[in-house]
Amino acid sequence: MAEQLGEDLGDPQLPELTADDVLRSLDRSRVQQARQRRGFRARWYLIWLLVGPGVLAMLGENDGPSMISYTATGAIYGIGFFLPFIVVTFLMAIVCQEMCMRVGAVTHRGYGQLVLERYGRSWAWLAAGDLLFTNLVTLIAEFVAIRIGLSYFHLGAGVAALLGVVLVVFTLSGGRYWRWERIALGLALFNGLFLVSAILVKPDLGHLGHALTTFSPLPRGSFNTILLLLASTIGATVTPWMVFFQQSASADKGLTPHDMSEGRIDTVVGGVLAAIFGCGALVAGAALLGHGVSGVTGFAGAGFPAALGRVAGGTVGALFALGMIEAGAVAILTISASTGYAVSECMGRSSSFNLTFKEAAPFYSINVIVAAVAAAVILIPGVPLLSIALNANVLATVLLPFTLAFVVMLANDRQLMGRWANGLRSNLMAGTIVAVVTVCGAAYGIDSFLIQIHVLS
């Protein structure tokens, strides 16, 4: 079957199918039947079957830290520069994630497994270790987001911790990638609550249009603060876990080169939705501009939802709180999955939601363990949850170039990718993105270090 597929596409280097790939054929049969149909409805049904990894990667990145970052930026600086900048960063994310989808669809292998096979165990474990550390910090921030949302309804940290872990265990119990994906997609749709919140605060449409069509100057502030804002906004849209997740999920879903156009639609739709909803959080936060932000970022109470409730009404506060719960919950599912994929792939073990626990014990165990550890951290008195949540995106930006470099190398590996390898335009865009992310992350890190040792003030 693999050899025939390679011959059909003119790429004889495609790898042999494994037992995991055969299990995915249960879902592929519906895709093949849909391809044989003709008409408008058949086309939409085919897209419905193949949508998933791209939308989840993008909406999963509209997570707790990201929405907190967008809302805080709007509350302190307004929408001026940052509304179009969010759109630009999601365009960057689409470019990066399209490469991940393409590599996963062509090779049927996850990111960690390919790095292991092509560059060796040391590089694979370095990439996985990088991801594990970043994901653990980010997962803690996701539980914080759920805690913020629940506190608006007078529920405590214990409920937030339990809810997140139970959700991970529940979604893992089906033994099918399709079931896990559809549950996560259903939850991810509630990211639209941030857009509803933005509409209900009744922003000035003329001001929104002007902000979107003209890049306003960066807000005034120290050089370090500006770098922090840029790094945190980039880290709110493009992160290492997204790379691991979309490539591995594309392989787990069973995408093939025949599905490339639908995979791109999936990625672009996810990016567009995430950009709209992220801008919604920024606009909702801007309703607090001029009302003072003292106490808004406090995690002991309801934080931003409570502040919005006071300024724009209880309905807005409640919707925003529910959005925070959704943002944290979907991210917990996708980030835990990316961790499970990465570590089990680097171990050379099976990593698929289509397998039983016995067949893929490391994959399932890691999913639950990282979520449980993060949940436990938010229950520890005195842990600086505010600092963790606000710096999670910056950490992602600092560590992202290493991950992106391997994505670009894999996408350029013609022995792996054949005619699906990167072209000149893709490499120019990818190279520019890697350079921008590297400069922003490195500049903020260096400037912060110089401030700490009192070379700069």
Which tens digit of pLDDT belongs to each residue from 375-396? Answer: 999 999 888 877 787 778 888 8
- Is 1 contained in some domain? no
Q: Is the pTM of this model over 0.85?
A: yes
**Structural domain includes residue 58:** yes
Residues 6+ apart with CB under 8 A from 91: 271
Q: Where are the alpha helices (DSSP H) in 313-360?
A: 314-346
Name the average pLDDT for the chain.
86
Vertex 201 angle, CA 198 and 204, to 5°: 90
Tokens of 122: 């040391």
Query: Which residue is it, tokens 């608006």?
Result: 152
Average pLDDT over residues 445-454: 71
The predicted structure's pLDDT at residue 431: 92
Residue 4 is assigned to a structural domain of this protein: no
* Residue 2 lies inside a defined structural domain of this protein: no
Residue 199 lies in a domain: yes
Contacts with 180 (C-beta within 8 Å, 6 or more apart), sequence order: 171, 172, 174, 333, 337, 353
pLDDT in tens, 326-344: 999 999 999 999 999 999 9
Q: How far is CA 123 from CA 94, 120, 181, 319, 441, in A?
A: 25, 6, 29, 44, 21
State residue 457's pLDDT score: 57
Q: Does position 246 have pLDDT exceeding 70, yes or no? A: yes
Neighbours of 155 (CB within 10 A): 15
pLDDT band, very low/low/confident/very high, at 1 (cuts 50, 70, 90): very low
Position 163 in a domain: yes
**Which domain does 272 fall in, by range?**
15-415+422-452
Which token pair is 63?
Answer: 């997570």
Residue 19 has pLDDT above 70, yes or no: no
Q: Which helix (H) or strand (E) holds 375?
A: helix 361-377
- The CATH number linked to 211 is 1.20.1740.10
Question: Domain count of the chain?
Answer: 1
Residue 409 domain-assigned?
yes
Beta strands in 52-143 (DSSP E): none
Whether residue 85 contacts residue 278, with contact meaning beta carbons closer than 8 Å, is answered with no
For the cut 50, the answer to whether the pLDDT of residue 3 exceeds it is no
The span from the CA of 171 to the CA of 393, in Å, is 26
Segment 45-63, tens digit of pLDDT: 888 999 999 999 999 999 9
Q: Is 322 among the domain residues?
A: yes
At 113, list the tokens. 């497994």
